[in-house]
Amino acid sequence: MKPTKKRKPRKRKPEAPKNLGGRPTEYDPRIHPKIVRELCKTYGSIDKTACKILGVSIPTFYSWKKSHPEFLAALREGKELYDSDKVESTCLRMALGYERDNKRTETLKDGTKKEITFTNYYAPSIEAIKFWLRNRSPQRWPDNRNISATGEVGLNIGLTDADLGALGRKELEQLKRILSKVAKSQAT
């Protein structure tokens, strides 16, 4: 037998990430988060609308949300900015009432057209007022009132222990039903 030489271990090349197949992503971390943030901030875009504008399918959009945290953060930030900016101001405007200038074109009897400018007044909305106050100052304007009552409700029917002992089983059941009805009616 021949003596075996010790071989030096080969240096292996670092493994490249495996190709999972499919087309390479179009996602660009420098561009797409900015675009989606501005879309949501300016137009209040929902996911389907953002997909159409970005030119990607809904599954791709959701995949980007899962695999790119900066994209998801930009999306949420844009939606939050839109809500706080547009929706809050609209709710306040509805709560206070507002005026709006409108234009309408009318055809006169002689066939000429005349543009008329007029102002519509929109009265304050009670629901918007309630919503605004409950969310703005919940301590002063709670959504529900917690009312509690303590104490005893008593009813004296003038029966002694001896009288109760003389009653039969049916009479006691009947008396129990009557007393529970009386107690319920006094509670309400």
Higher-scoring residue by pLDDT: 10, 40? 40
CA distances from 56 to 26, 27, 50, 157 (A): 9, 10, 9, 79
> pLDDT-derived band of residue 177, with 50, 70 and 90 as boundaries?
confident
Average pLDDT, whole number, for the chain? Answer: 80
Per-domain residue ranges of the chain: 32-136
CA distance linking residue 78 with residue 71, whole number of Å: 11
Residue range 133-156: mean pLDDT, rounded: 71
pLDDT of residue 169 exceeding 80: no
Q: What is the pLDDT of residues 3-38, one digit of tens each?
A: 677 777 777 766 655 656 667 778 888 888 888 888
Provide DSSP, the chain: -PPPPPPPPPPPPPPPPPP--SPPP---TTTHHHHHHHHHHHH---HHHHHHHHT--HHHHHHHHHH-HHHHHHHHHHHHHHIIIIIHHHHHHHHH-EEEEEEEEEE-TTS-EEEEEEEEEEPPPHHHHHHHHHHH-TTTS-SS------S---------HHHHHHS-HHHHHHHHHHHHHHHHHHH-
pLDDT at 69: 92
User: Under the phi-then-psi rule, with left for phi > 0, alpha for psi from -120 to 50, and beta for the rest, what region is 84?
Assistant: alpha
Task: Count CB neighbours of 130 within 10 A.
Answer: 13
Q: What is the pLDDT of residues 83-128, one digit of tens each?
A: 888 878 888 888 889 899 999 998 888 889 999 999 999 898 888 8
